[in-house]
Amino acid sequence: MTRAYNFNAGPAAIPLEVLQQAQEQFVDYQGAGMSIMEMSHRSTFYEQVNNETQDLMRELFQIPENYHVLLLQGGASTQFAMLPMNLLTPGKVGAYVQTGAWADKAIKEAKVIGEMAVAASTASDSFMRVPRLDEIVVPENAAYLHVTSNETIGGTQFHEFPDTGSVPLISDMSSDILSRPVDIGKFGLIYAGAQKNLGPSGVTVVIIRDDLAADSPKSIPAMLRYDTHAKAKSLYNTPPSFSVFMMKLVLQWIKGKGGVAQLDQLNRDKTGLIYDAIDGSGGFYKGCAHTDSRSIMNVTFRMANEELEKLFVKQSEAEGFVGLKGHRDVGGLRASTYNAVTLESCQALAQFMKEFQQKNG
Ligand code: PMP
């Protein structure tokens, strides 16, 4: 079997070992005579999966005791709405750092629910950088400050987070959760769809400080309230049991790799190879993000013209690379190097880039 060099932006690569483990357990889960997908979510088997997944998340991401780990559905896109529904109370504003396409989506939903303020924006730099911390102005009546820690499309990433004092700091970490250590205590709430760093799509992780999950406004329906899911330990209704099971296997794999600090180093080494190929190309490849805002998850770059970019994609596909075409909204090229993307894949890509340049430069 040949595995593709998978640089997809999400859904994305899942460790081969995890896929094989899932395959082994697929038909008969722990001698139960059925798969995990066929079991009651109230069974001891599934309860264990639910608990272990939350515990592993806590352990690997060093989540303090006073936070809940929620396993929800609806993707990060539902969190764009659920966050202001729960936390944007009358008289307050939801403050947002506008860094690109995903921050914009979060902003759009906040406006549906209540008052929104832009605390900083890098639109004038075409979102090719994140703001410096001293550019972020949090309004006095802010209910929270929302940042997108990693902009998947633009390829920018926060390398430090603002200190927001008593105002809860919220982050969409969909595309960089568990890729590096984070001081969770700085945040009120973190959310992420699983389909990049945590496993398959279908489950959305919300890490929420206890006080923010204590009592949601009465007007919100049960499924959209953080307190519902916190009280029910994410078993209020039928969970995406297979996705959670897969996420558990991915978390065990991360633990086996030595944890998040080790992955952080590996991720830097991986993207380092690709950024080096860009920076050493004498301008043949041009990195999109400003150097100090570069993402260690999504490397975005361009070439002299679209014809050359198309040729790059076509030839890369012939060599077994998948997912190198940039997002349709911005064009160009993008290599997503999430946790499960191997160093070998990145070495192969850096080599391919050099050879492509030799032939076409
Ligand atoms: N935020 C970011 C940073 C993303 O990359 C994505 C998905 N690419 C989303 C939100 C939306 O996630 P979902 O499709 O799970 O709703």
CATH, residue 314: 3.90.1150.10
232-275 tens-digit pLDDT: 999 999 999 999 999 999 999 999 999 999 999 999 999 999 99
| Mean pLDDT confidence for 187-191 | 98
Q: What local confidence, expressed as pLDDT, does residue 316 receive?
A: 98
Query: In the chain, pLDDT over 70 holds for what percent of residues?
Result: 100
Residue found by looking up tokens 């820690």 in the block: 149
In the listed set 208, 241, 256, which residue is the last one of a domain according to the structure? 256
Q: What local confidence, expressed as pLDDT, does residue 163 receive?
A: 96
Mean pLDDT of the chain: 97
| Mean pLDDT confidence for 186-203 | 98
Ligand 1: residue whose CA is nearest its atom 5: 152
Q: Which residues are annotated as a binding site for L-glutamate?
A: 42
Q: Please choose from 170, 173, 175, 197 the residue to mutate so as to test ligand 1's pocket, defined by most ligand atoms within 8 A of CB.
A: 175
Q: Domain with 97 in it: what CATH number?
A: 3.40.640.10
148-181 tens-digit pLDDT: 999 999 999 999 999 999 999 999 999 999 999 9
Ligand 1 centroid – CA 27 distance (Å):
31
Q: What local confidence, expressed as pLDDT, does residue 310 receive?
A: 98
Pair type for strands 321-322 and 5-6: parallel
Catalytic residue among 28, 108, 125, 196: 196
Q: What local confidence, expressed as pLDDT, does residue 182 receive?
A: 98
234 lines ligand 1 (CB under 6 A): no
Is residue 109's pLDDT more than 90? yes
Let me know whether 191 and 308 are in one domain: no
Cβ atoms 12, 6 nearer than 8 A = yes
Global pTM exceeds 0.95 = yes
Let me know whether 223 and 85 are in one domain: yes
- Number of structural domains (the chain) is 2
Is residue 1 situated within a structural domain? no
Residue found by looking up tokens 């400003």 in the block: 290
Ligand 1 atom at minimal distance to the Cα of residue 79: 16
Let me know whether 174 and 139 are in one domain: yes
Let me know whether 103 and 196 are in one domain: yes
Distances (CA, A) of 157 to 56, 61, 152, 197: 25, 18, 9, 15
Let me know whether 251 and 287 are in one domain: no
Q: What local confidence, expressed as pLDDT, does residue 2 receive?
A: 87
Is residue 215's pLDDT more than 90? no
285-322 tens-digit pLDDT: 999 999 999 999 999 999 999 999 999 999 999 999 99
Task: Name the E strands within 4-91.
Answer: 5-6, 67-72
Let me know whether 187 and 285 are in one domain: no
Is residue 301 situated within a structural domain? yes
In the listed set 227, 256, 285, which residue is the last one of a domain according to the structure? 256
The DSSP symbol for 360 reads H
Query: In the chain, pLDDT over 90 holds for what percent of residues?
Result: 99
Q: What local confidence, expressed as pLDDT, does residue 32 receive?
A: 96
Tally of CB atoms within 10 A around 43: 14
| Mean pLDDT confidence for 77-93 | 97
Is residue 38's pLDDT more than 80? yes
Identify the domain containing residue 282 by its residue range.
259-360
ipTM, two decimals, is 0.99
Is residue 5 situated within a structural domain? no
Looking at the chain, the number of H-run helices and the number of E-run strands are 9, 14
Q: What local confidence, expressed as pLDDT, does residue 85 receive?
A: 98
| Mean pLDDT confidence for 121-125 | 98
Q: What local confidence, expressed as pLDDT, does residue 153 receive?
A: 98
The pLDDT confidence band at residue 1, using thresholds 50, 70 and 90, is confident
Is residue 281's pLDDT more than 90? yes
Cβ atoms 195, 201 nearer than 8 A = yes
Let me know whether 117 and 76 are in one domain: yes
8 lines ligand 1 (CB under 6 A): no
Q: What local confidence, expressed as pLDDT, does residue 117 receive?
A: 98
Is residue 3 situated within a structural domain? no
